[in-house]
């Protein structure tokens, strides 16, 4: 509600793993969505056990949801969602219990249409303009005009990767490849590396190395331990390795534009 | 944490009933308490099913609590906690599924000790002063001095009753008898009486009548539906019947002193 994500929009919820801080908010969220008037089906995607969790809770405390809940358990890495405009892929994270990182990838969008050029070429405004964007050429009278004369190259889609909780690992580097935004576990600072290793988390420096290796464009240091009242030292250390590192707070909003970076 | 209730204090959690908005916060609370360093045993008291709920959640998503959790299921009305300084009683509320209202009642405290009077009567400061408060008389030299000469009458303890969610009912009126503070379901305004009856809630006017009948000293209108952006009309209606009605927001703090009211 605070993020104005919309109560009744098309919506999927991705659960990384079954630790309390990543799943205990779910029943309350479903309950609240129903109370606020959601009627549209909602899909929950998560590791094995997520269905049992939701069904067990519902057995004892009725969710009374006014909408259908689809639950899809991810059993292996790969594509978990495929829509006309985007897909979502899962990769195995490294966290002691089964845990997945997810990447949202928009499919390439048609190039930009240049109305001035089209007019100069004598193509009348109307259905032909749309056709030029969708196909490689159109016929105008007796001339065949190539789309590339008025339509720019296909534009890359946005790619956002979410990898929490996890140690740095090759599967996440691969998943995050070329992300516009990588949100990565940065639980500890470099001095607490042993702690990070023991608890299946990463240091901010390790997150920066993952961002660098995956050629991401920006890195959000995320899931920073509450023991750091001031997280700016973690940011400073990360920036030495990957300069486009940032910190985020709840409800912060980040504009992601793959054409600008 | 916000209410500064203390992480490691002696603590009991009372659950009224197994509806989502009254129980879905519990696993996260236990998880956070553990994370914040609680080591002291904690007792959870609630209706039948509360143990199964906590154990089922813990089976699928480990609570990892660093403290022992005792779960006591309330099966019938009556005293559910008995401590030297206070007791807690449960009464059956009226809400469609098993639901309990709870009353916290401090036991009477010894009367106030008047040190000036004690000195005038020649009682030396020290262990005899404590004994005067605890017993009916003390011997000072050859004299026996009655406690009532220097100690006021026993002071009543605080009584706070929490009755949410519920229709108005005799069992809650009885439980709330003489409360310094009654926190009562006031989900709807008088015009939505049918809705209140259908969903097992009370109107603010009904709550005020319960407060009046139980001779409570103050009433908190509570669990007001989110559909009322402004709850002051509910307060106005309640005050016509029970003038000591108040509204409260999250984190508000109410001083309760049975000697002042």
Q: How far is A140 from chain B (nearest CA, A)?
A: 59
Q: Which of B157, B154, B113 is nearest to B132 (CA)?
A: B113
Query: What number of other Cβ atoms are within 10 A of residue B91's Cβ?
Result: 23
Q: Which of A26, A27, A14 is nearest to A60 (CA)?
A: A27
State the angle between helix axes of A50-60 and A26-35 in degrees (0 to 180), rounded to the nearest 10. Answer: 60
Q: Tens digits of per-residue pLDDT, A102-142?
A: 999 999 988 888 999 989 988 888 888 888 888 888 888 88
Are B241 and B205 within 8 A, CB to CB? yes
Query: Greater confidence, A23 or B4?
Result: A23
A23 contacts in chain B (CB < 8 Å): 61
Average pLDDT over all residues of chain A: 94
Residues 58-97 of B with CB under 8 A from A: 59-64
Distance of CA B106 to the CA centre of its chain: 10
Q: Is B166 exposed, middle or buried (0-12, 13-18, 19+ CB in 10 A)?
A: buried
Q: Tens digits of per-residue pLDDT, B17-62?
A: 999 999 999 999 999 999 899 999 999 999 999 999 999 999 999 8
B20 contacts in chain A (CB < 8 Å): 27-28, 31, 61-64
Q: Which of A21, A23, A24, A52 to mutate to test the interface with B (most CBs of B within 10 A)?
A: A24
Q: How far is B203 from chain A (nearest CA, A)?
A: 19
Chain A interface includes B20 (CB < 8 A): yes
Q: Tens digits of per-residue pLDDT, B114-168?
A: 999 999 988 888 888 888 888 888 888 888 999 989 999 888 899 999 999 999 9
pLDDT at A257: 86
pLDDT at A261: 54
Q: What confidence tier does A5 reach under pLDDT thresholds 50, 70, 90? A: confident
A18 and B60: CB-CB below 8 Å?
A: yes
pLDDT at B261: 54
Question: How many helices (H) does chain B have, and how many strands (E)?
Answer: 9, 12
Distance of CA B139 to the CA centre of its chain: 40
Q: Tens digits of per-residue pLDDT, A222-233?
A: 999 999 999 999
Peptide linkage before B3 cis (omega within 30 of 0): no
pLDDT at A40: 96
Q: Which of A139, A63, A189 is nearest to B23 (CA)?
A: A63
**Distances in whole angstroms, Cα of residue B254 to Cα of each of A192, B181, B247:** 43, 9, 11
pTM for this model (two decimals):
0.86
User: ipTM of the predicted structure?
Assistant: 0.83
B60 contacts in chain A (CB < 8 Å): 18, 49, 52-53, 56
Are A67 and A13 within 8 A, CB to CB? no
DSSP secondary structure letter of residue A94 = -
pLDDT at B2: 86
Q: What confidence tier does B63 reach under pLDDT thresholds 50, 70, 90? A: confident
- Helix H or strand E segment including B144: strand B143-146
């Amino acid at each position: 509600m605070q993020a104005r994500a919309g109560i009744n929009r098309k919506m999927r919820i991705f659960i990384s793993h079954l630790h309390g801080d990543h799943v205990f908010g779910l029943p309350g969220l479903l309950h609240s969505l129903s109370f606020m008037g959601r009627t549209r089906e909602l899909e929950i995607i998560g590791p094995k056990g997520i269905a049992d969790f939701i069904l067990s809770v519902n057995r004892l405390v009725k969710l009374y949801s006014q909408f259908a809940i689809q639950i899809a358990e991810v059993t292996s890495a790969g594509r978990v969602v495929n829509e006309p405009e985007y897909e979502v892929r899962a990769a195995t994270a490294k966290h002691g219990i089964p845990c997945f990182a997810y990447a949202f990838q928009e499919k390439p969008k048609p190039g930009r249409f240049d109305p001035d050029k089209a007019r100069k070429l004598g193509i009348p405004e109307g259905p032909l303009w749309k056709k030029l964007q969708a196909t490689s050429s159109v016929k105008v009278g007796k001339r065949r005009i190539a789309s590339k004369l008025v339509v720019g190259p296909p534009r890359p889609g946005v790619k956002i990767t979410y990898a929490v909780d996890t140690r740095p690992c090759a599967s996440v580097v691969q998943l995050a490849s070329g992300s516009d935004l990588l949100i990565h576990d940065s639980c500890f600072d470099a001095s607490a590396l042993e702690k990070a290793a023991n608890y299946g988390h990463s240091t901010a420096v390790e997150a920066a190395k993952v961002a660098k290796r995956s050629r991401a464009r920006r890195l959000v240091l995320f899931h920073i331990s509450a023991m750091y009242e001031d997280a700016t030292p973690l940011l400073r250390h990360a920036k030495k390795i990957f300069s486009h590192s940032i910190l985020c707070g709840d409800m912060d909003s980040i504009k992601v534009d793959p054409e600008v970076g």
